Structure 1
């Protein structure tokens, strides 16, 4: 296959079958990379006592605790219900209040005062899209060059 640098900038110019194949290969290598981290993850979890927790909760009597089968889904459902209720309450509470109102425009005189510059520099800055601002050592605007 001939090297095409436009593929780097436009991946959609690559054929779909080739793109899909490379995606599958990339995913397989990411899985292999993650698999290599499993011994370290196992050591970390063992140091935290996760093996002991699994043994105490599941393996001691060779069966799963019925209380866990009921309580964990109930706790997850209760947490989801509380979070959804809180979100709906906030949506109801702030439904008619738009706190993102438009701010008034600032005049050129205020811009010049904030910059510590002349009125001409403020007008030139507001009239241009791209400008080069020349400043002195005290960071006071001294001049402006309008760029095309």
Structure 2
């Protein structure tokens, strides 16, 4: 039996991190997924046909096969394609118009940098404490039920130290 103790953290499986997959892996994964869903649907076809027969799908057969309803369906799908094409074309025209209109003009402005004093005032802490937090490599922040910061720990490589508003180590007490 293994001894209890800390273990190294395992790297996450690629299935849990799709952003780690290369584009060919993503295409292969999507293709295999679509293929296997199609096989799964194909395996259910006899049951679907039986249920359709039980619930009167013979009407579908009469309309589509006997009365050549597929011609009307294809005509309707053609109209759908035309409408979709017109909508897509209008969006492309609008995007092109805006591209030409705003080419070379940058209307967006850079936001003003937030000062440490503003951050500290918003969080309810002293600026020197917030400055130490910004210099730390890792923090552990605990929030109360309303989302306000309860405590902040500066996490070191071997131990954690809690920074308080008065600069001492321990539970965050003063604000």
Contact 2:63-2:69 within 8 A present in 1 as well: no
Aligned ranges for residues 34-49 of structure 1 at < 5 Å? 34-36=41-43, 38=45, 39=48
Equivalent-residue separation in structure 2 for 1:118 and 1:62 (angstroms): 76
Unaligned regions of 5+ residues in structure 2, if any?
Answer: 1-10, 16-27, 158-175
Query: Matches of 2:70 and 2:149 in 1, distance apart?
Result: 76
Deviation at 1:77, TM superposition (A): 3.6
Count matched residues: 122
What does residue range 1-148 of structure 1 map to in structure 2 within 5 Å?
29-36=36-43, 38=45, 39=48, 51=60, 55=63, 60=67, 64=71, 68=75, 72=79, 74-133=82-141, 139-140=148-149, 144-148=153-157
- Using the size of structure 1 for normalisation, the TM-score is 0.51
Alignment CA distance shift 1:126-1:78 (3 Å): same
| Aligned residue number for residue 171 of structure 2 | none
**Aligned partners of 2:144, 2:33: CA distance in 1, in Å?**
53
Q: Give how far 1:86 is off.
A: 2.1
**Contact 1:121 1:144 (8 Å CA) reproduced:** no
Q: Which has the higher contact order (CA 8 A, sep 6+)?
A: 1
Distance change (3 Å), C-alpha of 1:34 and 1:119: same
Contact 1:116–1:141 (Cα < 8 Å) also in 2: no
Q: Distance in 1 between matches of 2:78 and 2:92?
A: 20
Structure 1 30/111 Cα, relative in aligned 2: closer, same or farther at 3 Å? same
Normalising by structure 2, what TM-score?
Answer: 0.45
3-state DSSP class of the match of 2:154?
strand
Give the match's secondary structure for 2:71: coil
| More helix by percentage | 1
Whether the 8 Å CA contact 1:135–1:143 is kept in 2: the answer is no
RMSD: 4.8
Paired with 1:137 and 1:75, the residues of 2 have a C-alpha distance of 51
